[in-house]
Structure 1
Amino acid sequence: MGIEVNGTTFETDEEGYLVNLADWNEDIALELAKAENVEMTPSHWEVVNFLRGYYDEFQIAPAVRVLTKAIGKQLGPEKGNSKYLYELFPYGPAKQACKIAGLPKPTGCV
């Protein structure tokens, strides 16, 4: 499977997650978001960039509880709550945002 961006096909797994993290760029993120019916806004990018930084530091995609707590610490309590995150990523903030961020599926997500 794969996703085509600017004439190049990038490999994805059967659930649509990028296989090679190094392939990721913003154009790919936009294409993945489109496939998820997510309209990327500055708030979406904030979460996606946060996740990429978290992954760089810990080599793991956070589950939703960890994500909510970590975002609250870094971006403030008004963003560190599941209601806000589910508004941005209705199919699961951890799962959907990690996919758009080009990260593997978070541990504990089904």
Structure 2
Amino acid sequence: MAEKVYAGKSVSVTDDGYLTDPNQWTKEVAIEIAKEEGIELTDKHFAVIEFIREKTLKGEALTIRTIGKSGLVDTKGFYELFPGAPLKKASRIAGIAKPSSCV
């Protein structure tokens, strides 16, 4: 594990850049992680990120399909918000562990 500084805050991250402690996450940290991914966060991004955090912190496993059925965004919209690897990028920005469904 490594330490990284986001928004002036030192956080613990895995080798892949995922926060090891979701309690270290803040919106400011998310904005800086998103910049690394080439994404500028909007209110829509934050709505999806907060959904992901809420479900994951309750112990629920997430899939792209689950997010597509959330009512916040459809699957196509999810890919548009987080291009390339949406679940992987959104999870990293949300400050949660890398989903087991992501390689």
Match of 1:40 in 2: 41
Rounded to whole Å, the distance in 2 between the matches of 1:46 and 1:12 is: 23
Question: Which runs of structure 1 show a deviation greater than 4 angstroms over 4 or more consecutive aligned residues?
Answer: none
Alpha-carbon RMSD across the aligned residues, in angstroms, is 1.5
Higher helix share goes to which structure?
1
Structure 1 residues 66, 107: CA separation in 2 closer, same or farther (over 3 Å shift)?
Answer: farther
TM-score w.r.t. the length of structure 1 is 0.83
Matched residues, percent identical? 36
Gapped runs of 5+ residues in structure 1?
none
TM normalised by structure 2 equals 0.88
Per-residue deviation, 1:61: 4.4
Shift of 1:90: 0.4
Q: Secondary structure at the match of 2:4?
A: strand
How many equivalent residue pairs? 102
> Which runs of 5 or more structure 2 residues have no equivalent in the other structure?
none
Cα pair 2:78 2:86 within 8 Å, conserved:
yes
- Where 1:34 maps in the other structure, the secondary structure is helix
